[in-house]
A = this chain, B = another copy of it.
Amino acid sequence: MTDERRPTKRACVPALEEILHNPLPVLDRGFVRVVDYMGDDAAIVQAARVSYGRGTKQVQQDRGLIRYLLRRRHTSPFEMCEIKLHVKLPMFVARQWIRHRTANVNEYSARYSILDREFYLPDTRQLAVQSSTNRQGRGACLSDDQATEVQARMAAGSAYAYRDYLWLLNDDTGEAGESDPDRPGLARELARMVLPVSAYTQWYWKVDLHNLLRFLSLRADPHAQYEIRAYADVLMDLVRRWVPMTLEAFEDYCLGAVSFSRQGLAVLRRLLDGEAVTQETSGLTPREWRELTDSLGREF
């Protein structure tokens, strides 16, 4: 994979070519690297116009059409763009990521090869207590002292595990250095069992733009775990380089949008009529009421 340039008749995106093949750092040792891509904003428009055929005589502006498609959830034209990434990520992040099924994956095989001594060690600013309001989230950060102690424990744990891993492998390739000739080496597929899920793995991941946006809408969300969000943030920047009109529409109609339920809509109408509505009179649960007032950015 040299960086030589070759001529092509395919759609090209100079802003993405600029960083093609460059690893973009994520977390302490991870990265995202664009390996290949297909299509651009114009390719979405082109596919949509196949559907509309002669019907679209008046030249709609591309941006307007993209916004219309995204607003109306006409998702199939967005499937016409594809991107292939090389990602290095901790295993517990990989386990969340792989839940997105409509994608293609080739992962490094720990049955076949020896894993490097690479483990995710959270920055002290990311070490936080269990949230008391959200069973699935973090609360306040630890104090500096506490965070340092936690980090040290984590580092010691992964060092311990990797030492065991090498001992079990008893292999003289790679970092293992020297091996004990009087002892057999355990099969790789067994030895790797002792490694913690903070260990880094790598994969090629290929996905279409529609499914990538769904990934982002879930993983760039504040409810997602910080570590996968760090990847989503980098992906968001990539998408902005690749298909800027689509990303803008996505921010307006998905990320920045709010859905009001049938009941929430009724409350909204009463508010607009000037009625003083409270949670008690709203018909909403306390949680739903809080979500509604949060999204309106004010108290009632």
A residues lining the B interface (CB < 8 Å) = 1, 3-12, 17, 20-21, 35-39, 43, 46-48, 50-55, 64, 71-73, 76-77, 79-80, 82, 84, 86, 90-92, 94-95, 98-99, 101-102, 104-114, 120, 122, 126-131, 135-140, 142, 146, 150, 153-154, 157-158, 160-161, 164, 167-169, 171, 173-174, 183-190, 192-198, 202-204, 206, 208, 218, 223, 225, 251-253, 255-265, 268-269, 271-272, 285, 288, 295-298
A260 adjacent to B260 (CB under 8 Å): yes
Q: A275 to nearest B CB, angstroms?
A: 12
B17 adjacent to A8 (CB under 8 Å): yes
A188 adjacent to B11 (CB under 8 Å): no
Q: Known: A194-B157, A251-B262, A257-B261. Is A130-B171 also a contact (CB below 8 A)? A: yes
B197 adjacent to A195 (CB under 8 Å): yes
User: Which of B86, B168, B253 makes the CB contact (< 8 A) with A261?
Assistant: B253
Q: A169 to nearest B CB, angstroms?
A: 8
Q: A291 to nearest B CB, angstroms?
A: 8
A12 adjacent to B1 (CB under 8 Å): no
B187 adjacent to A79 (CB under 8 Å): no
List 26 A–B pairs whose Cβ atoms lie within 8 Å, in order of A's numbering.
A5-B8, A6-B12, A7-B8, A8-B12, A8-B17, A11-B36, A36-B38, A39-B84, A48-B106, A50-B202, A53-B113, A54-B173, A76-B104, A76-B105, A91-B197, A111-B136, A122-B193, A129-B184, A138-B187, A153-B194, A157-B194, A193-B196, A253-B261, A256-B265, A265-B295, A269-B297
Q: Known: A51-B106, A52-B112, A187-B137. Is A206-B258 also a contact (CB below 8 A)? A: no
A106 adjacent to B80 (CB under 8 Å): yes
Binding site of A, secondary structure by majority: helix, strand, loop or mixed?
mixed
CA distance A108 to B50 in the complex (A): 5
**Nearest B-chain residue to A40, judged by Cβ:** B36
Q: A80 to nearest B CB, angstroms?
A: 6
CA distance A52 to B90 in the complex (A): 18
Q: A207 to nearest B CB, angstroms?
A: 10
Q: A82 to nearest B CB, angstroms?
A: 5
Q: Known: A9-B21, A198-B193. Is A80-B84 also a contact (CB below 8 A)? A: yes
User: Which of B52, B91, B161, B183 makes the CB contact (< 8 A) with A161?
Assistant: B161
Q: A69 to nearest B CB, angstroms?
A: 11
Residues of B within 8 A of A131 (CB): 187
